[in-house]
Structure 1
Amino acid sequence: MNHSNLLVELFVEELPPKVLQKLGDAFAGVLFDQLAAQGLTSTGSRLTAYASPRRLAAHITEVAPQAADKAVSQKLMPATVGLTADGQATPALLKKLAALGADASAVAGLQRVHDGKADVLYFESTARGAQLTEGLQKALDEAIAKLPIPKVMRYQLQDGWTSVNFVRPAHGLVVLHGTQVLIGVKALGLTAGSATHGHRFEAAVDPVVIESADSYAQQLAEQGAVIASFAERRADIARQLQAAA
């Protein structure tokens, strides 16, 4: 399975400077944790958080296009409740199996496990691994919902009807898995693309079209005159102040 690096960026209006780093770390951290929980990352995956006055972003290495399938064991009911004396399924068991998408043919494959008190029936199945677009949508929704926003702003989208809540109005969403745009991902009324914006006055081009997840920081620096990393930008400011002093 081809694991590529993933980039997610929310381009917004100016964020509160005092909580910028906290917002960036929280956004990236929840994204990573949610993708990992769904089996879409690997043990070697690494997270880089980005936060500038007009963007929150995350770069995650080794992200799978689909999580691996996994075995699922579901406890049903005591064997005495689910089976008759001659081993036939009771209506209660058939109803439970139907709720799980199975029928009477699954009865023969049920596992009987003694839990210390009685035999219990278990249904063994295989859960299909999450697709990246589906899993990332869930992770992005969670990351936005859990942002430590000091004061929520409510604003109306361009359709004139829909309103959303966020720390500042959002104007762009970049989602790249390698060089591929995951166009099925949406957030705050925005659809994923590959175009973002650099500095308002000093950018060499506008918009900045990101070629791949790995070229994000370099393209922003060279074409957009923006240092995406909060830590690198702060270090550069400190260096310039020291030089001026």
Structure 2
Amino acid sequence: MSQTDTLLVELGTEELPPKALRALGTAFRDGIVGGLAQRGLEHGAVQWFASPRRLAVLIDAVALEAPDREQEIQGPPADKARDEQGNWTPAALGFARKQGLEPDALSVVDTPKGPRLCLRTTLRGAQLRADFNDIIHASIRELPIPKRMRWGASRVEFVRPVHWVVAMLGSECDFGPVLGLPTGNTTRGHRFHSSGEIRLQRPQEYAEKLAAAKVIADFDERQAMIRAQIEVEASALQAHAVIDPDLLDEVTGLVEWPVALTGNFESRFLSVPAEALVSSMKEHQKYFHLVDADGALLPHFITLCNIESTDPAQVIAGNERVIRPRLSDAAFFFETDKKQSLHSRLDGLRTIVFQQKLGSLYDKSQRVARLAGELAALLGGNAADAQRAGLLCKADLGTQMVLEFADMQGIAGAYYARHDGEAENVAAAVEEHYWPRYAGDRLPTGLTAAAVGVADRLDTLVGIFGIGQPPTGSR
């Protein structure tokens, strides 16, 4: 049984892209594990780490040497290895020369195709100490990094500048340079709550010593902490926190020592469409919003800090100051847009090109309106309402709200249609004709919305095929 030891590799960087952090962490893990498997090096449990300033992999019981293996290289048929005089034929001599041997060193083996010349050799198993550096470099090359960067005078490239590299097998830590830096056994803690280097005596100390330096390196552990803290903050207000998985992943990629804090905004902003407020808090500030038992938005938010402040009230006040202008903008856009009806905005669509050969959005809305009316009549719905909804379904694209918050497309239009006194099924169709937006998404709730949605898609499909630009897998 070969000797084993614990492996640790860490890349210490400047702040990594938060949205890509989970993918980078798992890819780095898979690269290291794949490098071991490729060399026949067995191992035990694998743990991966990813925080804003590091990617790391810890593997228990890694074999330091792979077993030797037998290799059999077959050559020409044995009956063609010698001529009538018993001399080696050119085929046999060529095969032996290729293997760096004399023909007499070859043996004959039985195969399903008859006896053949053969070379049997014993290949020594891979040595982890010798291959460790290559495994790390191969893992780095395979990371899903669309665009790498250089820093300083170095020609080294990575997603962000790298400042230290840990590579350990047990207590050994010198395995040659990686990304232009020497490998070692020193890591670093939290950017603000820790100072100096942290020396590791054994790989098993990694997570514990970082936690003492205010870094929760395990991505999943840190995410669980964030979720728990958010739920505690929400329960204090007898509210429910809406935790979007993508936002949770992103926030987990922004902090190493998460601290959840609750802030507030003025109740007057609740007159603005909740979707716009949520978009502003979520997309711009990375806040989690709160709702009551009925799902109505509450004037509170939860933010995650990367520090333990001695005066959290100041941190909360700062976040409240930042969000107030953004919510004020949303309120201003909403009130300004309502001064003009959706129908009066139709002429503005003449200047917005849908497709060069298919005309403007005004042209498209006219086509969709006619087709939606015909479809609604066939479906047993209200043709006049479907035609009206088709006419108005793109009108909100010229509003300030949609220009500022692109994800309000359709949603804003429904609010404005209701404000204008349009029929409820018309207003609903302005929003719902975009459903489903992706596979598995919700479907329109009424015949009017369904008719407009089908008409919109039919118009697009017939149009692009008609001009010779059929859809492809990438568009």
TM-score band w.r.t. shorter chain: 0.7 to 0.9
Matched, 1:173 2:169: no
Residue 223 of structure 2 is matched in structure 1 by 234
Q: Indicate the SS of the match to 2:192.
A: coil
Matched, 1:115 2:112: yes
Q: How far is the alpha carbon of 1:86 from its aligned partner? A: 5.8
Deviations 1:130-156 (A, max 9, x none): 111232223212211111113222335
For residues 102 and 151 of structure 2, the distance between their equivalents in structure 1, rounded to whole angstroms, comes to: 49
**Aligned-partner residue type, residue 2 of structure 1:** Q
Q: Indicate the SS of the match to 2:184.
A: coil
Question: Number of paired residues?
Answer: 233
Q: Indicate the SS of the match to 1:66.
A: coil
Q: How far is the alpha carbon of 1:101 from its aligned partner? A: 4.0
Deviations 1:157-199 (A, max 9, x none): xxx4x51221111121111111221x13432112210011111
For residues 221 and 140 of structure 2, the distance between their equivalents in structure 1, rounded to whole angstroms, comes to: 24
For residues 90 and 62 of structure 2, the distance between their equivalents in structure 1, rounded to whole angstroms, comes to: 44
Percent identity over the alignment?
37
For residues 85 and 54 of structure 2, the distance between their equivalents in structure 1, rounded to whole angstroms, comes to: 66
Q: How far is the alpha carbon of 1:22 from its aligned partner? A: 0.8
Matched, 1:70 2:69: yes
Q: Indicate the SS of the match to 1:114.
A: coil
The answer on whether the counterparts of 2:66 and 2:127 sit within 8 Å (CA) in structure 1 is yes
Give the unaligned 5+ runs of structure 1: none
Return closer, same or farther for 1:88/1:209 CA change in 2, 3 Å cut-off: farther
Q: How far is the alpha carbon of 1:98 from its aligned partner? A: 4.0
Q: Indicate the SS of the match to 1:232.
A: helix
RMSD: 2.1
Return closer, same or farther for 1:90/1:27 CA change in 2, 3 Å cut-off: same
Matched, 1:194 2:185: yes
The answer on whether the counterparts of 1:113 and 1:122 sit within 8 Å (CA) in structure 2 is no
Q: How far is the alpha carbon of 1:83 from its aligned partner? A: 3.5
The answer on whether the counterparts of 1:73 and 1:123 sit within 8 Å (CA) in structure 2 is yes
Q: Indicate the SS of the match to 1:187.
A: coil
More deviation, 98-107/32-41: 98-107
Deviations 1:181-224 (A, max 9, x none): 1x134321122100111111101x410111111111111111x2
Matched, 1:219 2:209: yes
The answer on whether the counterparts of 1:49 and 1:58 sit within 8 Å (CA) in structure 2 is yes
Matched, 1:155 2:168: no
For residues 81 and 196 of structure 1, the distance between their equivalents in structure 2, rounded to whole angstroms, comes to: 63
Return closer, same or farther for 1:218/1:115 CA change in 2, 3 Å cut-off: same
Matched, 1:127 2:118: no
Q: How far is the alpha carbon of 1:92 from its aligned partner? A: 4.2
Residue 143 of structure 1 is matched in structure 2 by 139
Q: Indicate the SS of the match to 1:141.
A: helix
For residues 12-91 of structure 1, the aligned pairs below 5 Å read: 12-42=13-43, 45-85=44-84, 88-91=87-90
**Aligned-partner residue type, residue 33 of structure 2:** F
The answer on whether the counterparts of 1:76 and 1:96 sit within 8 Å (CA) in structure 2 is yes
Q: How far is the alpha carbon of 1:81 from its aligned partner? A: 4.3
For residues 85 and 171 of structure 1, the distance between their equivalents in structure 2, rounded to whole angstroms, comes to: 70
Return closer, same or farther for 1:121/1:209 CA change in 2, 3 Å cut-off: same
For residues 68 and 168 of structure 2, the distance between their equivalents in structure 1, rounded to whole angstroms, comes to: 24
More deviation, 130-139/87-96: 87-96
**Aligned-partner residue type, residue 241 of structure 1:** I
Q: How far is the alpha carbon of 1:88 from its aligned partner? A: 4.6
Q: Indicate the SS of the match to 2:65.
A: coil
The answer on whether the counterparts of 2:3 and 2:65 sit within 8 Å (CA) in structure 1 is no
The answer on whether the counterparts of 1:113 and 1:121 sit within 8 Å (CA) in structure 2 is no
Return closer, same or farther for 1:92/1:221 CA change in 2, 3 Å cut-off: same
The answer on whether the counterparts of 1:35 and 1:135 sit within 8 Å (CA) in structure 2 is no
Return closer, same or farther for 1:81/1:179 CA change in 2, 3 Å cut-off: same
The answer on whether the counterparts of 2:67 and 2:124 sit within 8 Å (CA) in structure 1 is yes
**Aligned-partner residue type, residue 22 of structure 1:** A
Residue 11 of structure 1 is matched in structure 2 by 12
Q: How far is the alpha carbon of 1:61 from its aligned partner? A: 1.3
Q: Indicate the SS of the match to 1:196.
A: strand
Q: How far is the alpha carbon of 1:32 from its aligned partner? A: 0.6
Larger Rg: 2
For residues 184 and 81 of structure 1, the distance between their equivalents in structure 2, rounded to whole angstroms, comes to: 50
Q: Which of structures 1 and 2 has the larger relative contact order (alpha carbons within 8 angstroms, sep 6+)? A: 1
Q: Indicate the SS of the match to 1:63.
A: strand
Q: How far is the alpha carbon of 1:105 from its aligned partner? A: 4.5
Give the unaligned 5+ runs of structure 2: 235-475
Q: How far is the alpha carbon of 1:91 from its aligned partner? A: 4.6
**Aligned-partner residue type, residue 163 of structure 1:** R
**Aligned-partner residue type, residue 236 of structure 1:** M
Residue 184 of structure 1 is matched in structure 2 by 175
Deviations 1:64-110 (A, max 9, x none): 22212111111223334443446554454344334434334512xx2
